[in-house]
Amino acid sequence: MATIDYYFYGASPFTYLGNGAIREVADKHGATLNYKPVNLMGLWEISGAVPPGQRPPVRQRYRLLELQRIAEIRERPVNLKPAHFPVDMTLADSCVIAIAERGKDPQAFLDAVGKGVWLDDLDMSNEAQIADKLAECDFDPDTIITAAQSEDTAAIRAANTQAAIDADAVGVPAYVLNGEVFWGQDRIDLLDHALTTGREPYKAG
């Protein structure tokens, strides 16, 4: 069975837009999807990327075009100017880790968090909002949030970040199959093709 390491930051619009698509591809091929939240700033420090607000205006404008195109293709509505963005997703992403560490599926929660930011104008750094989303997805908020705030969970997130760096992930979302990195939700089709053909992984050098 194939395994896909799924590196993401929950507030990324591209994580939100591609979250359903990567799950569909994993399910299609019977692949295991390992949810691995990262510290995005730590990843960007290595890849040379900067937050959207620090990019040249032409790149900021083009990003808004891309979000609209992708939202249409993915059939996922998106608010181009959410009320709470940028937002610190450390706790929400750590809840994903806590869910996965308990052998549960974090897909619905991750999707709910993304919708909270990019559709419903919620502050997903707020513990009460996170608790509401956990409850909506049939998780016990107290148990998951307590685990999410532990040192063990913080260590897993740090290890995920380093693993993404080691895999040459430029940003998020990034998907790693057999050591080959696919950066961006627009590369999901290429990942699907790799799984379909069973080809050997490509290497950078």
Q: What CATH number does residue 43 fall under?
A: 3.40.30.10
Quote the pLDDT of residue 205: 76
Give the span between the Cα atoms of 174 and 86, in whole angstroms. 20
* DSSP one-letter string for 123-173: -TT-HHHHHHHHHHTT--HHHHHHHHTSHHHHHHHHHHHHHHHHTT--SSS
Question: Per the domain annotation, does 101 fall within a domain?
Answer: yes
Q: Please name the residues in contact with 20: beta carbons below 8 A apart, sequence gap of 6 or more.
A: 74, 76, 111
Quote the pLDDT of residue 1: 87
Task: For residue 119, report the phi and psi dihedrals to the nearest 5 degrees.
Answer: -135, -40
Give the span between the Cα atoms of 170 and 108, in whole angstroms. 26
Question: Per the domain annotation, does 204 fall within a domain?
Answer: no
Question: Per the domain annotation, does 75 fall within a domain?
Answer: yes
Please provide the size of the chain in residues.
205
Q: Is the pTM of this model over 0.95?
A: yes
Question: Per the domain annotation, does 205 fall within a domain?
Answer: no
- Residues of the chain scoring pLDDT < 50: none
Range of the domain at 95: 3-197
Q: How far is CA 55 from CA 52, 92, 161, in A?
A: 5, 26, 23
Question: Per the domain annotation, does 77 fall within a domain?
Answer: yes
Give the span between the Cα atoms of 27 and 21, in whole angstroms. 10
Question: Per the domain annotation, does 90 fall within a domain?
Answer: yes
Give the span between the Cα atoms of 152 and 3, in whole angstroms. 23
What's the number of domains the chain is made of? 1
Computed over its alpha carbons, how large is the radius of gyration of the chain?
16
Question: Per the domain annotation, does 163 fall within a domain?
Answer: yes
